[in-house]
Amino acid sequence: MKLSTRMKKLLMLALVVTVLVTISGCTVPHDAKGNVILITNNTTFQYIFEKESWFSAIFVWPLAWLINHLSMIIGVGGAIALVTIVIHALLAAFTSKSQVAMQRMQLIQPELNKIQRKYEGVSTDSARMKMVQEQQALMKKYDVHPGSMMLVQFLQFPIVMAMFFAIQRAESVAKGSFLGMILQVTPMKGLQQLIAGNMASLSYIILFILMLGSQFALIKLPLILQKKKAEAEAKKHHRRPEEVGGGSQQVMMQYMMVGMIAIFGFTWFSGMSYYWFIRNIVDIVKTLIVQKKIDEQKPVGGR
């Protein structure tokens, strides 16, 4: 069965989260006592490059260095937020065309599915070739190039990994606090403290819920945009809007994805929960900006 673009993105997100959690224990260096070796203001690029790895030196060290230095000016919460926004803005600048193509691909997914249903049950080579040709013609009509969309995922993956490790290793995060929260406390520990009667620990649970809520909103946003497009097309042609959505399998995958992040996020320290929340908000804003850019363009394909 051919996977939709949204399903592929969900699977990619699941892979990113799984890989991050799996390799973090063996990639983040620890001292003889099992403590994470922190990156401080005095840690140099040369030291990280010689003692650890090129990935840590080129990707992790600069991010941790920025967070440490910005924390002295705008606080650790502001530093994490600012670095996340700047990094995603730079990524968006380099991958804007690919991002537009990816979002446009999501918007035409119902039409691609319609072509696939048209040939459902037909197993001849000529029919399959005709289906592929129709789908390719539709993508060409809307100026969508699937190959270019891989650039977005290729660039995002090492950056997400680097931020994940930098937040664990930045001294300002390990020893800092934000809105009264100690950023190394996990939501699980916060819940235990809350049950024990420490009401101040409620903030850890609120941050955890905000992280999950923003992740759910980010996953659902493409479907909302698809429905909006379908309703606009239906109004233009004075007909009922077509039903959009990926079916029960895709809905299940969405809930499984949020569930996976909930399980992992419950044991992440709150600094990572805060970063993931900011990252989701940035992605939501980026998606809406790209959609506005698509809407402002002349209709592709002569529509």
- Residues 6-50 have pLDDT tens digits of 555 545 555 555 555 444 444 677 777 877 888 998 998 898 888
39 — phi, psi (to 5°)? -100, 115
Asked if residue 276 lies in contact with residue 265, where contact means CB atoms within 8 angstroms, the answer is yes
Token pair of 39 as six digits = 């990156």
* H runs (alpha helix) in the chain: 5-27, 45-51, 54-55, 61-107, 109-118, 125-141, 146-169, 171-174, 187-195, 202-236, 247-265, 270-296
- Domain chopping of the chain, boundaries: 42-296
pLDDT tens by residue, 115-153: 777 777 666 777 777 777 777 777 777 666 665 556 566
What is the rounded (10 degree) CA torsion for 58, 43, 163, 265? 150
Confidence (pTM): 0.73
Give the closest residue to 205 by CA, choosing from 219, 189, 217: 189
**pLDDT one-digit tens code per residue, 100-114:** 666 666 666 667 777
Q: Tell me the mean pLDDT in the region 202-216.
A: 92
Phi then psi dihedrals of residue 181, to 5 deg: -95, 130
Contact 274, 80 (CB under 8 A): yes
Q: Quick one: DSSP state of residue 52?
A: S
Reply yes or no on whether the pLDDT at 66 is more than 70. yes
239, pLDDT greater than 50: yes
Taking the C-alpha atoms of residue 287 and residue 280, their distance in angstroms, rounded to an integer, is 10
CA 8 – CA 153 distance, rounded (Å): 11
Share of the chain above pLDDT 90, in %: 16
Q: How confident is the model at residue 249 (pLDDT cuts 50, 70, 90)?
A: low
